[in-house]
Structure formats: structure tokens, C-alpha cells
Structure 1
């Protein structure tokens, strides 16, 4: 069986384990059903997620020009504290920025390889945690806009990490932590204008990933250096496909790449 399309991040569905789907223009692939099967991934070309042209992908699925003009990849996306829509100040497209920034946001703790703080729209819970490969997570505050979430994250990352060690996450070198205790300890460092949004009485969300076998060493698949790869799929975690030979493929990092996916058995 063979599929071809432009990669975008895998869609997910909460479950035990998480269910993963690859969505192409003409195909909808339930990736969990490919576990244990031999797959061939072939690099075909590029398709910018904005202009749709066969132009080399620069970052996050966009060609160079679109990366620097599309509103969905403005600086405020990676740095929420730079959000200004609540002030009526435009970055690239004020209407788009209002739509995204002026909605409920969550500041959370997630444990993928270590406990980290992060920000996401409320509508993206628990998707954001799944994408990060977190096996447990908890909300700290729920605020009405992205700016308040951003300044809270900036304050809290002085006291807890804000990055995931993706290698430890994929090797499953993890330890359970008491995130309620972490949440309560961090309350003192929340900015004054956000303190009223603190979530007092919630519990951890636990997540389970479809992995048959975790790798001990990691080799990242780069489609430009290795335009054709064949391996047995052994797991899916975060936005990574994990293969039997310890090769891992980050689907999200390859958004905008056109691939042919062939199931060999």
C-alpha cells in the first residue's frame, strides 16, 4: 500500500494509548495500525504550507519568504510574552492575532524528560502535551489572553525548566513527579496580575503512548541527506516515529515536505 502527500503534524486523539493520524490531501492514515510493519519513506519535494509552491522549506513548514510574513509564525508564537493584540497593536495581521491571542490560554507543567513549564491555548489541551511526549501534565493557571500566559511562563522558568530533552523523552528515561506539589510551590512566583487565575484544585493528566520498543541509541532521519529510508515502525511518541534500528523521524520538523509512504508488509 502506498500513500503520498505533504507532511503536517500528526493529528492525535486521546486514548490508552494515544491514537495518531497522518492527514494527506487524499489519504487519512491511522498510524497506530502501522506498528510492527516495514515502512519506506521517500522524499519527493517541498510544498510550502502558505504559498503551496515547491520551494525549499525554511522553518516550520514555510519557505523563507512566508516564514517572515505569515502571521502564524510571528515572534509572539514562540515568545507569548511579546503578544500585543490585547493592546490593539499589530505584528503582522491584527485580525488573525486577535483571534489567536485573545482567547483562554493555559500555563502548564508537563513531564516529558523533566518537569517543564509551557503555554498553550486552552483548546489545545491535551494536544500540546501529547505533541511534547509528556507522560503527565497539569494546568497551573487559565488566563484570558496569550500575553498574561507569556509573562507567567517567563516568571516561572526562572524556577523550573522550559525545555524538553527530546533524547531522554524518546528513550523513555523518565521519572514520575508530583506535579501538584510543583504547581503549589510555583504559586509564589506567579506575577501579581495573574494570581487570581491560579487553579487550586486539579489533578495530573496521565498519557500513554503507542510504543512497542524504546530505542537505546538515537539516529535522526534527515530526508535531505537520506531521501529514502526503510525500517520497521516500533513506536510513536510526541511527534516522532520510532523505528527498530533506533532511527527516529520528527514529523512536525518536516512539515512542508512531500513524501511517499509505502507499507512493505
Structure 2
């Protein structure tokens, strides 16, 4: 069956295992039901997630012009400590920034390939952990705005990593760790402004992904270099499709690409 649409990160539902849905404007694919089937992915054109124009994607699903103009790509997205809405200071669009920044945020530990610290809106848990391919995660603090989460993350990443090795994550080269112990160990390094929001009564969340076969080596599908690919889908982890020939395809990394997907 043939589906067409612009790629956006897959929607997810936690469960044993996670359920994945690739959603287009007028249709969707339950990706779990595509496991062990042959998929053909073909790049047709670009479609910027902001302006909708057929322009080369620059970053985060946006064309170059939109990336530097839309409030959805402000520096505070990747660096929460740069958030200023709590000071009533605008970056690109204060109303948008207040909606996004002035809501509960969580600083967490996740284990995808190693223990890392991260920040997300409370409403994005456990979605954020699933997107990172974490098989276990735990909250450290829950604060009322993005700025406090950002400065907490900056302080904690002096003592724990903040990056994931996506290759190790996809090969399932992982170890189970005691994140509660890690959380307790890091408590002393939480900034004074956020110390009152420390969480000490929660437990780890365990996440199971729908993977039939992990690759021994990974080779990434690049639609700019190879606009047409066919393979048998063997797993989904994070925002990656894993194929039988060890090819992996990062859906989120290809947002804004308008594709055709044939499943049989």
C-alpha cells in the first residue's frame, strides 16, 4: 500500500512495546504493523514545516529562512538556559515563548547508551524518553519554567553526560543502571534556585521497543544521497527505523522531506 506525506517525528504510545504511528495530513501508518514487511521510501520533494514551501531543509524540518525566523527554532529550544520569557523578554515571539517556556519542565536522567541528563516539558514525558531510545529513565526535578530546568541541566552535566551515542543505542549495546542512585548522587549539584523542586519519591520508568533484530553495524540512510530505498523493517527504536540490512533511517532527522512509502 502506498502512502505519501511530509515526514514529522513519529507519534508514540508507551506500552509493552511502544506503539509508533507515522502521521501524514490525510493518513497514518501504524509502524508496528509494518514490522517484517518490505518498505520502499522515496523522497519526492521538500516541504518546510513552517512555510510549507518546496525548499531544501536546513535544520529541524525548516528551510534556512524559516530556521532563522520561526520562534519554534529559537536558541532556547536546544539551550533551555537561554530562556527569557520568565523575564518578559522576547527572543522572536514573546507570546509563543511564554506558552512554551512558562509551563512545568522536568530535568531527567535517561539511559539510551549511557546515563545522560536532559530537559523536557512535563507534558512530553515519556514521549521525550521514547524519542531518545531510552530503555530506562527517571525525573530529578520538576520546575515551573524552562529557564530553571536549563540552568539545572547545565550544572548537572558537569557531573554526568548530556549526549547519546545513537549507534550504541541502535545496536542495543546498553547496560541497565541504577538511575535512582545516580539521581541521589547528583542532588548535591542542583542549583540553589531549583533545589526545592528535587524529586526523591519516584522510581525508574522502563521502556520496551518493538525490535525483532538489532543491527551489528549501522549505516544511515541519507535521502539527499539516496532518494529511493527498499528494505525489510526489523525494528523501531527512538525515532529510527531499523532494516534487515542494518540500514537505519532517522525519521526526526528527515522532518520536512515529502516522501512516498510503499509497504508490502
C-alpha distance in structure 2 between counterparts of 1:250 and 1:203, whole Å: 30
Equivalent residue pairs, number: 264
> What is the CA–CA distance in structure 2 between the aligned matches of 1:228 and 1:72, rounded to whole Å?
30
Residue of structure 2 equivalent to 1:147 = 147
User: Within the alignment, does 1:249 sit opposite 2:249 as a pair?
Assistant: yes
Aligned ranges 1:1-265 → 2 under 5 Å: 1-263=1-263, 265=264
Write the distance in 2 (CA, Å) between the matches of 1:38 and 1:169: 23
CA shift, 1:28, in A, is 1.1
Output the CA distance in 1 between the equivalents of 2:245 and 2:141.
41
**Alpha-carbon RMSD:** 0.4
Taking structure 2 as the reference length, the TM-score comes to 1.00
Unaligned runs of 5+ in 2: none
Distance, in Å, in 1 between the alignment partners of 2:116 and 2:25 is 35
Query: 5+ unaligned residues in a row in structure 1: which ranges?
Result: none
SS class of match (1:3)? strand
State the secondary structure of the residue aligned to 2:9.
coil
Note the alpha carbon deviations across 1:82-121, whole angstroms, 9 max, x for none: 0000000000000000000000000000000000000000
1:192-212 deviation digits (Å, cap 9, x = unpaired): 111100001110000000000
Runs of 4+ in 1 over 6 A off after TM superposition: none
TM-score by length of 1: 0.99
Give the Cα separation in 2 of the matches to 1:2 and 1:28.
11
Deviations 1:186-237 (A, max 9, x none): 0000001111000011100000000000000111000010011000000000
Distance 1:234 1:39 in 2: 11
Q: Secondary structure in 2 aligned to 1:12? A: strand
